[in-house]
Amino acid sequence: MAESPYIIEVTEENFISVVLEGSRAAPVLVDFWAEWCQPCKALMPMLAKLAEEYQGKFILAKLNTEDQQNLAAQFGIRSIPTVKLYKDGEPADEFMGALPESEVRAFLDRHIPRESDKLVAEAEREADGGDLQGGIALVERAMNLDPENPRVRIALARLRARLGELAEADAIIAALPADVQMSDEVKRFQADLVFHRVLLDAAPVEQLEQAVAAGEADSEQRYRLAAYRVNQEDYAEALELLLGLLQTDRKYGDDAGRKGMLAVFEILGGEGDLVAQYRSRMFNALH
């Protein structure tokens, strides 16, 4: 096969540039394979055909697990073929095994950007600028334009959660197709909802910070400060607070420290140096 601009062999040297950085421009589908794997050899030509057909709407990254054993271990690959899809620098979805072409197309089409996604991106910019209601109005326009796009509904759930309307956010997620509910994006959002719920009746963050800094905070105050840190995307500080809670008060909130750490790992996609560092520290604290 002639070289294609849409199909790239990935190694430790180019994984960050091709997959993590590249997925900010277009989704990147990482195919973990090996020469000895017969299902891999069945799947690979079909993925290559789709990469050509979609003409850059996604990039196919081929990763030979025999040649790149460190990467395969880093991503916890235990069976092949495993196919992971990355968007915006993070894992967004995956499947295992040699699926039929129709199912792979459906998998891809859940993530390939559509016109309604542009409205969602605009809505999230509005919300980040402080206009949550304006953002919701734009998402609702996107929903009218493209009611079959699950990403629009997920975006609406995220904005409802930011308004504190958690029951509405739960209902939107519950109405999604089962396969979408199992996607990494939805799992991360549901993990994030854990901390939104904690903050519904929390004291102001400054009050909690003062109590922790003075060494006067109880378990509930430390847990709620961790939730604020998650909300601020300060995941390192959140994990440190949750680890401390795990070490000092396992009974609080039915093991809230450990469960909170697992929720943060989910938000972070279960990968990366921060997850690896705190997963190890959590394991040591539990044994």
Please list the active-site residues: 37, 40
Structure tokens at 167: 């029951």
Longest Cα–Cα distance of the chain, Å, equals: 66
Is residue 46 within 8 Å of residue 37, measured between CB atoms?
Answer: no
The set of residues, in sequence order, having a beta carbon less than 8 Å from that of 117 and lying 6+ positions away, is 142, 149, 151, 152
- Best CA proximity match to 184, nearest among 95, 86, 92: 92
- Give residue for tokens 């029951």: 167
Strand pairing report for 59-64 and 7-9: parallel
- H or E element: which one contains 221? helix 219-231
